[in-house]
């Protein structure tokens, strides 16, 4: 009896009665047929997430932005660049080169999770929520397993004490996209912030009462009102110490 053929999104695929090897072969052929960056991104995403909405939420990317990237080089889409490609490639188990150009082979080795990348630990957060940064010139910084979507600039700080609540003692906070100076899109976000007086804090950022001033909030301490922020980076994820 011939296997049943089913049509989805303009493509044909074979029902699950076929062997895994043959289905992998079909998927590889579909991948090689993808002609736009958006199509390649969608094919890669389907290895890990059922929908673009789920993928965007998992990576902390606005759903509308991620959805537009899956329509890159098509009407109504929005192209993505090398840094976005690196993030997507790590998350979906492909290569940035394949997403951007289609010239690298599409991985067909299965959907198992990729090893977590190593990222440097650049400091720790003490009891007062003030981060004490290590000297970045020292040769042997600590490294920990980072999130799967870590990029080249991703770093971590270790939480020591109860600055973010007792549950998070000895956990790690990961961040990468440092904004210098502070930008409005970080309002309401939990961020690692560097103040003009030298302190480095992990706080939720809100607008202050004056131009260029911000109020910093946390769960266990009183707000710090009307401070100037020299730089800020949104917290991407918080992970338990392994």
Q: Tell me, what's the pLDDT at 222? A: 86
Instruction: Enter the pTM of the model.
Output: 0.53
In tens digits, the chain (242 residues) has pLDDT values of 333 333 333 333 333 333 444 344 434 444 444 578 899 999 988 888 888 888 887 787 888 999 999 999 888 889 998 989 998 988 888 888 889 888 766 555 544 455 667 888 888 776 555 666 654 445 455 888 888 777 778 899 888 776 667 777 888 899 988 999 999 999 999 898 988 888 888 889 999 999 999 999 987 778 999 999 999 999 988 888 76
Q: Tell me, what's the pLDDT at 141? A: 58
Cα dihedral 40, 46, 48, 50 sign: positive
Helices 82-92/37-45 angle, 10° precision: 30
> Token pair 């029902």 is at which residue?
15
Q: Does domain 5-101 have CATH number 1.10.10?
A: no
Q: Tell me, what's the pLDDT at 46? A: 87
Cα dihedral 207, 209, 214, 219 sign: negative
Domain ranges of the chain: 5-101, 118-239
The three-class DSSP label of residue 143 is: strand
Question: What is the Cα–Cα distance from 206 to 57, expressed in whole angstroms?
Answer: 22
Question: What is the Cα–Cα distance from 67 to 156, expressed in whole angstroms?
Answer: 29
Q: Tell me, what's the pLDDT at 242? A: 64
CA dihedral 42, 44, 45, 50 (to 10 degrees): 90
Q: Compute the 3-state secondary structure of the chain and give helix, strand, coil in percent, each to the nearest 5.
A: 25, 25, 50
- Domain at 118-239, CATH class: mainly beta
């Amino acid at each position: 009896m011939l296997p049943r053929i089913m049509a989805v999104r303009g493509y044909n695929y074979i029902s699950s009665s076929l062997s895994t090897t043959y289905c992998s072969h079909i998927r590889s052929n579909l991948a090689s047929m993808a002609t736009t960056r958006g199509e390649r991104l969608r094919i890669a995403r389907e290895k890990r997430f059922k929908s673009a909405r789920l993928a965007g939420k998992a990576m902390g990317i606005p759903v509308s932005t991620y959805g537009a990237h899956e329509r890159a080089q098509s009407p109504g889409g929005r192209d993505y660049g090398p840094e976005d490609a690196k993030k997507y490639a790590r998350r979906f188990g492909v290569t940035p080169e394949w997403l951007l150009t289609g010239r690298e082979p599409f991985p067909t080795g299965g959907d198992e999770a990729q090893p977590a990348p190593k990222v440097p630990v650049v400091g720790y957060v003490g009891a007062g929520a003030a981060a004490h940064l290590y000297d970045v010139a020292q040769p042997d910084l600590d490294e920990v397993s980072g999130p799967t979507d870590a990029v080249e600039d991703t770093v971590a700080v270790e939480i020591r004490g109860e600055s973010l609540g007792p549950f998070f003692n000895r956990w790690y906070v990961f961040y990468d996209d440092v904004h210098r100076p502070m930008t409005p899109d970080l309002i309401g976000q939990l961020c690692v912030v560097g103040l003009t007086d030298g302190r480095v804090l992990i706080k939720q950022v809100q607008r202050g009462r004056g131009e260029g001033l911000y109020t910093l909030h946390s769960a266990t301490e009183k707000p710090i009102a009307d401070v100037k922020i020299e730089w800020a980076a949104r917290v991407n994820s918080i992970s338990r110490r392994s």
